[in-house]
């Protein structure tokens, strides 16, 4: 079974409460339950991690890489638009990554239109809600 890590950045722990008109009413736990079921069906063993702290996300990327994770699915939230350090950590992992955004970053504020972390990812899915994570799971085999 391939080991995959799903990393969530700042404010994603507020899903279900934060801007429900943008993100809906489902929680991060709801999202993880959905991903876990689909990951199992795809033959993946998922690990989940959420932090509001950039350094904690970087440390987790390093730790998971050292533990032999096969791939990452990431939603770094606002850090996607600002963090060269997260981009570098993903690149240094040598593992394939897919970036997911629940909302369509191209239809939001201009400062959200560019992802600094996308350069370290094989693919980006934006604006498909929670189903974007399922699409990411289905894209992974071509990168593994």
44 φ, ψ to 5°? Answer: -110, 150
- How confident is residue 55, by pLDDT bands cut at 50, 70 and 90? very high
Whether residue 12 has pLDDT greater than 90: yes
Judging by DSSP bridges, how do beta strands 44-50 and 71-75 pair with one another? unpaired
- How confident is residue 42, by pLDDT bands cut at 50, 70 and 90? very high
Whether residue 88 has pLDDT greater than 90: yes
Catalytic one of 8, 23, 44, 81? 23
Check residue 103 and give its pLDDT: 83
Helix (H, G, I), strand (E, B) or coil at 41: helix
What mean pLDDT is predicted for residues 25-42? 95
What mean pLDDT is predicted for residues 124-133? 95
- How confident is residue 93, by pLDDT bands cut at 50, 70 and 90? very high
Residues 6+ apart with CB under 8 A from 37: none
- How confident is residue 82, by pLDDT bands cut at 50, 70 and 90? very high
Catalytic one of 8, 79, 81, 101? 101
What mean pLDDT is predicted for residues 58-80? 97
What's the gap between Cα 40 and its chain centre?
Answer: 17
Check residue 142 and give its pLDDT: 96
Round to whole Å and give the CA distance between 2 and 71: 8
Please say if 23 is a catalytic residue: yes
Element (H, E) at 97: strand 97-101
CATH number of the domain enclosing 87:
3.40.50.9100
Residue range of the domain that includes 128: 2-143
**pTM of this structure:** 0.93
The structural domain count of the chain equals: 1
């Amino acid at each position: 079974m391939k080991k995959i890590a799903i990393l969530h950045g700042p404010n994603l722990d507020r899903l279900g409460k934060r801007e429900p008109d943008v993100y809906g009413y489902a929680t991060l736990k709801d999202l993880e339950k959905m991903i876990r079921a689909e990951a199992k069906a795809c033959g993946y063993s998922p690990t989940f991690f959420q932090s509001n702290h950039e350094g904690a996300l970087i440390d987790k990327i390093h730790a998971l890489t050292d533990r032999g994770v096969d791939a990452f699915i990431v939603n770094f939230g606002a850090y996607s638009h600002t963090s060269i350090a997260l981009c570098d950590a993903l690149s240094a992992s040598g593992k394939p990554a897919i970036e997911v955004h629940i909302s369509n970053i191209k239809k939001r504020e201009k400062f959200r239109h560019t992802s600094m972390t996308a350069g370290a990812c094989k693919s980006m899915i934006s604006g498909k809600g929670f189903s974007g994570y399922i699409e990411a799971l289905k894209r992974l085999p071509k990168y593994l």
